[in-house]
Every structure is written in structure tokens, then in C-alpha cells.
């Protein structure tokens, strides 16, 4: 995902993305200088806790957070070499929904409650792909069937409230993939769902992604979900990307102490009952009162004065990056 290792140009390239909001307590930088590349057909998991900036980052890339919502946005976003930030609203509408599809956490609020399912799925096809309403309706039924909804003809004539949460999320996926996008953004797509339904939805996303060769950004707070589905993972903390690497490297040899501490704090099914969890002390910082140093320093067991005074930048070592003065498992670092 670093881009250095791959010769092919990335599908999506983000440089120094910033998002800030003005609050009563002063400016709040929710996303602070995040860069990453995403190649065709790959799945990037963006992992972080609430307030880490993972959703705001991705929403700012596709214009859902911007001047209109009172946010200050900076940085460069190249999609297939085109600068998305330089597009007019009209040009942007041609990209969103057609070349980039989005699935949100809560299908009850992302679907239109007063429009029939079939019409919602066909809307993009009519507006962007020039299909007439008959052809769009036919294609909507095909898509419902593809995302695993039984009796698609009958379901196409129903409204969202007539379906279960899992079904609604399948509909949301059908809408997102209707125009055959090259990039699918899934923002906590299964957080509102039960574990057995979550499994079915993640399987569906992965199958569609592979069959269509789409790239996917999977935003999640659940490290288990990211472990099973992402090729690469970017870990965010307090608005910054603190570690980025292939999924296995993140889980096997985390460099950043935050990643390491987070993985250690998880209860495991393989641990005996009543094992003490290794909790991370403290809590994430107040973004309106940033210190000059590393955001994780107050909670970090490897903290030195350097960590309090200087902000570590994301530096690359071969194909992986980390923002830490004392990376784990590296010569010269504390874990060496």
C-alpha cells in the first residue's frame, strides 16, 4: 500500500489530507496530514477508535465533509490521476455513485424511506448510465438477486422499513455496486448487525469485490473484521495515521506501541476464563488541545521526553510505515 513497491499507478492517492472543524473551544483538527495509496483490486482496512478520524477522513475524500458542513479541508486526492478536489460539483456527481460506491453503517438512515427499493437501486443507472426506467428496474431486480435477496421481484416493490437490518444492508450494497464502481467505500458496514448477519454481509462484500475487481476501503473499529478481510491496514489514532502495513505484519509484528497495546488488550477465545486483560491506561486525547508531541505518548509505556516534545511523522521502512520514535521490533528501537 505504500506505493513504493508497486510500479502501477495507484487507483486512489491521498496526500496530506487534513480536516478541521471550528468549535466553541477553538479549532479542532480531526484529520491531520494523512497520506495513503490504494491500488486496484486491493482492500485497505482503516482501523481506529471513535474520534480517530477514520470516517471523517474518508468522507472528506468524497466531498461529504467539506466547506458545506463547516469543515476546513486540505490536501490532494487523486482518483485515477484526476484531482477530485479540483472538480466542479457537477463533475463530482459524475464520479460519486458511479466510479466510487459507498456503503454506510446504518442502512435505515442511508436508504430513502419513502422510495421503493427497486427505484432506489435503479436511480444511479438512470441518471448516470442512461438506462430507461424499464431497463433500470430490470437491472435492479438482477442486482437484488446478486446480493442474495430472495424473491427479488417482490422485494423491489417494497420499502426499506419492510426489511430486516441485514436485508437493508444488502440493498445498500446493491445500490453501491449498481454502476460498477472501481472503488467501494464501506464505513463500518456491519457494526449495526448481529454477528451471524455480519458474517454474511462481509462475505457478500468480499465476493463482489473479488468478482468485480473493485478496490475497497473498509473502515472498522473491529480488529477481527479487519484481520479477516483487509489486504493492508492503516491504523489511525487522534486524527493521524500511526501505522500502515500489510495485514499480517500489523498483527504479527506491530511497530507502533499503540497497535501493539490495542492487540494485547483484546480478549481472546484461546485465553482461559478470568485471564486479566492488559488494559491501555488513560484515554484518547482531546483533539482541541493537542500537545506538540506524539498523541499516544501519555498512554505509552515506551515514552521518552522526545515523545512529549516532537511529533513523530509516518516514516517508511520497506513497504510499511509507522509514526514512532521507539518502534517495536526494529534495531535501535525498544523492541530490538
Q: Smallest distance from the beta carbon of 169 to another protein, in angstroms?
A: 11
Output 34 or 167, the one with its CB closest to another protein.
Answer: 167
Q: Three-class SS of residue 36?
A: strand
Grid cell 457494526 is found at: 191
Q: Does 23 bind another protein (CB under 8 A)?
A: no
Among 7, 8, 88, 196, binds another protein (CB under 8 A): 196
Tell me how far apart the alpha carbons of residues 98 and 259 are, in angstroms, rounded to a whole number.
35
Q: What is the CA radius of gyration of the chain?
A: 21
Cα–Cα–Cα angle for 146, 190, 121, nearest 5°? 40
Q: State the DSSP string of 253-295.
A: S--SHHHHHHHHHS--TTSPTTPPP-PPPS-PPPGGG--SS-T
Window of 72-80, 125-133, 277-285, 303-311 that interacts with another protein by CB under 8 A: 277-285
Measured distance CA(61)–CA(71) in Å, rounded: 13
CA distance 17 to 34: 5
Report the nearest approach of another protein to the CB of residue 186 (Å).
14
Among 66, 148, 329, 335, binds another protein (CB under 8 A): 148
User: Is the CB of 90 or the CB of 276 nearer to another protein?
Assistant: 276
Spatial distance between the Cα atoms of 48 and 243, rounded to a whole number of angstroms = 11
**167 touches another protein (CB under 8 A):** yes
> Given candidates 87, 227, 330, 334, which one binds another protein under the rule CB under 8 A?
227
- Answer yes or no whether residue 130 interacts with another protein by CB under 8 A: no
Minimum CB separation of residue 1 from another protein in Å reads 15
- Pick from 56, 176, 280, 294 the residue near another protein by CB under 8 A: 280
Q: Indicate whether 267 belongs to the interface with another protein (CB under 8 A).
A: yes
Report if residue 164 touches another protein, rule: CB under 8 A. Answer: yes
Pick between residue 181 and residue 284 the one whose CB is nearest to another protein.
Answer: 284
Stretch near another protein under the rule CB under 8 A, chosen from 77-85, 130-138, 219-227, 305-313 = 219-227
Q: Is 197 in the site for another protein (CB under 8 A)?
A: yes
Scanning 64-72, 99-107, 209-217, 268-276 for contacts with another protein by CB under 8 A, the matching segment is 268-276
List the interface residues with another protein, window 44-63 (CB under 8 A).
Answer: 49-50
Residue 151, helix vs strand vs coil: coil
Distance CA 39, CA 48 (A): 21
Helix axes of 117-129 and 165-177: crossing angle, nearest 10 degrees? 10
Q: Is 116 left (phi over 0), alpha (psi -120 to 50) or beta?
A: beta
Report the SS3 class of residue 61: helix
Which parts of this chain interact with another protein (CB under 8 A)? 49-50, 148, 150, 164, 166-167, 194-200, 202, 221-228, 247-248, 251, 261-263, 265-269, 271-281, 283-284, 299
Amino acid at each position: 500500500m505504500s506505493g513504493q513497491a508497486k510500479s502501477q499507478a495507484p487507483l486512489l492517492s491521498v496526500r496530506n489530507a487534513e480536516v478541521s472543524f471550528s468549535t466553541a473551544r477553538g479549532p479542532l483538527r480531526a484529520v491531520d496530514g494523512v497520506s495513503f495509496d490504494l491500488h486496484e483490486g486491493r482492500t485497505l482496512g482503516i482501523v481506529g477508535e471513535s474520534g480517530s478520524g477514520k470516517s471523517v477522513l474518508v468522507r472528506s475524500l468524497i466531498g461529504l465533509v467539506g466547506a458545506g458542513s463547516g469543515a476546513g479541508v486540505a490536501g490532494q486526492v487523486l482518483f485515477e490521476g484526476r484531482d477530485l478536489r479540483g472538480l466542479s460539483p457537477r463533475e463530482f456527481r459524475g464520479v460519486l455513485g458511479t466510479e466510487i460506491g459507498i456503503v454506510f453503517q446504518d442502512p435505515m438512515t442511508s436508504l430513502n424511506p419513502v422510495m421503493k427499493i427497486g427505484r432506489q437501486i435503479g436511480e444511479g443507472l438512470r441518471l448516470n448510465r442512461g438506462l430507461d426506467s424499464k431497463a433500470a428496474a430490470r437491472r435492479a431486480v438482477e442486482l437484488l438477486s446478486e446480493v442474495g435477496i430472495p424473491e427479488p421481484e417482490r422485494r423491489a416493490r417494497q420499502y426499506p422499513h419492510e426489511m430486516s437490518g441485514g436485508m437493508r444492508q444488502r440493498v445498500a450494497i446493491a445500490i453501491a455496486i449498481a454502476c460498477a464502481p472501481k472503488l467501494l467505500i464501506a464505513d463500518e458496514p456491519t457494526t449495526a448487525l448481529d454477528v451471524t448477519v455480519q458474517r454474511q454481509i462481509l462475505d457478500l462484500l468480499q465476493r463482489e469485490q473479488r468478482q468485480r475487481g473493485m478496490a475497497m476501503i473498509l473502515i472498522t473499529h473491529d480488529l477481527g473484521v479487519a484481520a479477516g478481510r483487509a489486504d493492508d491496514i492503516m491504523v489511525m489514532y487522534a486524527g493521524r495515521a500511526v501505522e500502515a502495513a500489510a495485514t499480517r505484519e500489523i498483527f504479527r509484528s506491530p511497530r507502533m506501541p499503540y497497535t501493539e497495546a490495542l492487540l494485547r488488550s483484546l480478549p481472546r477465545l484461546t485465553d482461559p476464563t478470568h485471564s486479566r486483560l492488559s488494559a491501555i491506561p488513560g484515554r484518547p486525547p482531546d483533539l482541541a488541545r493537542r500537545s506538540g508531541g506524539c498523541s499516544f505518548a501519555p498512554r505509552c509505556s515506551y515514552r521518552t521526553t522526545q515523545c512529549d516534545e516532537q511529533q513523530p511523522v509516518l516514516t517508511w521502512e520497506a513497504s510499511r510505515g509507522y509514526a514512532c520514535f521507539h518502534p517495536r521490533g526494529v534495531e535501535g528501537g525498544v523492541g530490538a
